[in-house]
Every structure is written in structure tokens, then in C-alpha cells.
Amino acid sequence: MLTRSRLIAILALLVGTALIALGALLPIVAPATKLLPLDLRSTTLTLDDPEAEIGPGFLNGPEKEQHPTVIAPVVRQFHVTQSDPSDDKSMSVRVGASTHREDIEDDLDSLLSAEIFSYRVDRRSGQAVDDSGQIADFPASPPHDTPMEGNWIKFPENSEQSSYDYYDYTLRRAFPAQFDREETRQDSQGNRVTVNIYKQVIPPTNVAEKYGNIRNQMNIPKEMDIRLPPNTAPIAQRFHSAEREIAVEPKSGLLVGMTEHTRDEYMVRDEAGLLVPVQLLLDFNGKTTPQVESSMLTQASDFISGLQAKWWSIGFLVAGGIVTVIALYFAFRPRKASRSHRGE
């Protein structure tokens, strides 16, 4: 007949075994990987500016002839897709960056710019791998090599309140994005999510010196009276500046929102060495639409749940192991002889 202590030990053994089984199954039911997922639901970051200022370089027909600039609604999108090859350390991604007008129905006529970047990204840190990739930036033209560096589609897991280099796709290089503050925002399910806000400021920088492109320079209009240095061609080059606030869910490193003010304009240095504006190309001041931000916050919340499942799994395994060892000891230790038996 089982003694009371052995009965309790056997019950404890069953509990310990159940805890171990639960700890082993939990990562399968709720995957706890901290890697950048291969199947993110929300893969398009959309920025909307209802009153962007568009210069002649992006205008056609009567608009270009009648107006120096046009105020119109403009949308900028970054669409991320995963491609092969991918493994447990890095993955191949394609990022389509496009800017288009919302007040023009024809897709081709509304398009201001479009590029497709292909490169490899570290699934933990979010940084570009090998510092190089490819870009297709001309219609019907083959991709060509381009520098890739820093973070773009993702920040590191457990992002710190410090500085990270964030990629500017116009200049095709990364610039520091400094932690600015914490904010609490709400996802589509009503959950409150804490995010880090990183601020990036890029002063006017010469794009034409970085790479060649049909929009990177223009002839200075003859009617403009700009005194240039001797033997200088009357050509203005494109300069790009940017101010961004990037919202990141820190545990996962996933981007959940952004505000972005970029200004692209043609400028030239006069004989005194000062930068003189010649013509605006585009002044864009956009922010993430509420629907997109809400969806991305929900995605980040689900990702965090997976991370928490990992620690619950470890806790169940450790607790189950301890309970099982103790239960085995008490269940199968030799029974002491009774007093009457010892006295014989």
C-alpha cells in the first residue's frame, strides 16, 4: 500500500512532467523567435502629405508652364517583401520606395519617383549585410549596385535609448537617428504600446555627388542672375535635406510609424561660396496614416507576446525539472524499516 508521502510524491511527479511538457510545447504554439519574421502582415509604411509642394521637375504640360510650383496631396510608400535566399541569420528583402500624387488618377502620370532596393538584412540587428545591394531606379533598366548600410526596415531587438544609423534612400547612405523620447500609443485592439522615438536631421547634402541620375542636376535658367566662379558651367545640382521622427517598438525593433519632412531642390554655389537656391523639386512633409500605424502597432504587440512566451517556456521547463527531481527522490527512496522490525 502506498504511503501518504509516496502518493504526494507521485502526484508531484505528474505535475512536474506536465510543466516540462507545457514548457516544451509553448514555443511551438506561440513561437518566441526574436528574428525578423518572414511573414510580416503589415509590410507597407505609408506617409501622407495633403499639401506637398511640387516643383517643375515633377510637372508636365500646362501645370509646368503656368505655375512655378504646385500644392497637391502626395503619398510616399515603402513596401517590403521577403525573397530568397533566407536563413536563420539573415534574409533577402526588396524595398519598393515610391512617391506619387493623389490628385491624378492615371498611375503613370501620378508617379513622381520609384525605386526598388534589393539587399540582405540581419534578422536580429536589422542592419544591412555586406554593405551593398542592388537598385532598379530607371524604367525597363537592369538593377545596378548601390551602397546599403545601417538600419532601414527594422531596428535592433531591445533597441536602446541611444543613437542608430538610419538609411536615407535618396542619399543612399545612413545618418544618425538619436533617441528623443518615449511615447505610448494604441494599437487596433486597444492595447497601449510603448514606443521609442528617434530623431534624424540631415542638412542639405549634394545628391549628384553620390550617384548619377537624370533628376540630379539642371541647367540654370538664363534669366537668373547668379554670379558663378570663373569657368563654372551654369548647372545646378540637387540637394536633399531631411528631418524624421521614427517610432520603434523597442523589444522587437519593428518600425510602427514615422513623420518625415524632406526637401529636394536644385542649388549652386556662387562666387562667394554660398549655396543659392535655383529651383524646388519637391517639399514633402508627411506622416504615417493612422490605419497603418494601428496595424503595425498590433503586429508589434503580437511579436512581443511571442517574446514573452519564450520566458514562460523556460520558467515551466525549470520549474518542471525541479519538481520532477524532488518527486523522484521521495517516490523511489528506500523505505526505512519500522521500529518493531528493527527491534527483532
Question: Measuring CA to CA, how many Å separate 88 from each of 35, 156, 303?
Answer: 8, 15, 17
Q: Where does residue 144 rank: exposed (0-12), middle (13-18), buried (19+ CB within 10 A)?
A: exposed
CB 194 within 8 A of CB 180: no
pLDDT tens, 246-288?
A: 999 999 899 999 999 999 999 999 999 899 999 999 999 999 9
Grid coordinates representing 264 are 529636394
| Torsion 44-31-185-150 (CA) sign | negative
The 3-state secondary structure of the chain reads CCCHHHHHHHHHHHHHHHHHHHHHHHHHHCCCCCCCCCCCCCCEEEEEEEEEEECHHHCCHHHHHHCCCEEEEEEEEEEEEEEEEECCCEEEEEEEEEEEECCCCCHHHHEEEEEEEEEEEECCCCEEEEEEEEEECCCCCCCEEEECCCECCECCCCCCCCEEEEEECCCCEEEEEEEEEEEEEECCCCCEEEEEEEEEEEEEEECCCCCCCCCCEEECCCCCCCCCCCCCCCEEEEEEEEEEEEEEECCCCEEEEEEEEEEEEEEEECCCCCEEEEEEEEEEEEEECHHHHHHHHHHHHHHHHHHHHHHHHHHHHHHHHHHHHHHHHHHHCCCCCCHHHHHC
pLDDT score for 307: 46
Q: What is the pTM of this model?
A: 0.78
Nearest CA-CA partner of 307 in 117, 120, 151, 124: 124
Residues 258 and 243: their CA atoms lie apart, in Å, by 10
Residues 33 and 251: their CA atoms lie apart, in Å, by 12
Which residues are 181's β-sheet partners? 197
| Segment 307-329 mean pLDDT | 50
What is the pLDDT confidence band of residue 242, given thresholds at 50, 70 and 90? Answer: very high
pLDDT score for 342: 45
Residues 294 and 242: their CA atoms lie apart, in Å, by 25
With b for 16 or more beta-carbon neighbours within 10 A and e for fewer, the 93-104 pattern comes to bbbebebbbeee
| Angle made by CA atoms 251, 255, 259, in degrees to the nearest 5 | 135
Answer whether residue 332 shows pLDDT above 80: no
Listed by start position, the domains of the chain span 29-294
pLDDT tens, 81-126?
A: 887 777 888 889 999 999 999 999 888 889 999 999 999 999 889 9
Answer whether residue 327 shows pLDDT above 60: no
